[in-house]
Amino acid sequence: MLPQGWISCLVAGSGLVWIVDMDASVLAAAESALDHVFSDRVLLERALTHASLAGTRAESNERMEFLGDAVLGLVVCESIYTRYPQMLEGEMTKIKSLAVARETCAAMAHGLGLPGMLAMGKGMQTGGELPMSLAAAALESVIAALYLDAGYDAVRRFLRPRVDPVIDKAAESRHQQNYKSFLQQYAQQNQLAQPQYRVLDEQGPDHAKCFKVAVEIGDRRFCACWGQAKKKAEQEAALAALRELGVLSETDGGEPRTAPPVVK
């Protein structure tokens, strides 16, 4: 799948491979989203090329995703460390985990419009929303591109307005959106049975499977929820249980999915 503005052609070699060039309008849109004009636009093109469309995996965004993940983690750790000087390591680790989580990265990617700029092969087309993992990978890849093109300070200027609100919200919360851990603590404190998570259904292709999960405490089963990964579904189910138990309010933590998400 090529987003509007991409130009592609086939060349002969050991087999047929894609060579993908990005139209200037798509590059300009990506640069506008990142608020940075690239000196080396090849970095940006590679950051937005999925392995399913690249000539080789080394020419895709996978290596850049690896680097971008590390740079994102450094920015987040620095922010937590400087903004909360009295916070201890354990709490900082929990907040960092939330700020760099796949769900958080995917939400930032969608806010920037990156999924619509990502070039993928036909086998990745299933209709609907881009899988969370691919959206998150797109964000991490463009972070790497920005870092390689302009350095750490440019990445920090780009990321801090986006990650600091997530950090602050997590710091103010009792659970840092780790609802499974919070539910387990609640069960222990109230001498309840250990929460058990049951997969009730699964849908979608292998690369974008969704799961329906319910949590049980003793003989009580709580509302089942869907997620674009088993761990995500378990978190949604734990949130639903915490609400049913009256531990969290209906406005705390967003709205759990009770219907399967549409994935791409």
Q: Mind telling me the catalytic residues? A: 69, 140
Query: Which two three-digit tokens encode residue 197?
Result: 């998570």
Please give the backbone phi and psi of residue 204, each rounded to the nearest 5 degrees, phi first: 100, 170
CB of 178 within 8 A of CB of 106?
no
Strands 17-22, 6-11: pairing is antiparallel
Paired with 212 in beta bridges are 201, 226
Beta carbons within 10 angstroms of residue 118's beta carbon: 25
Strands 225-227, 210-217: pairing is antiparallel
Beta carbons within 10 angstroms of residue 114's beta carbon: 26
Element (H, E) at 112: helix 102-112
Task: State the Cα–Cα distance between residues 59 and 47, nearest whole angstrom.
Answer: 9
Amino acid identity, residue 9?
Answer: C
Paired with 196 in beta bridges are 216
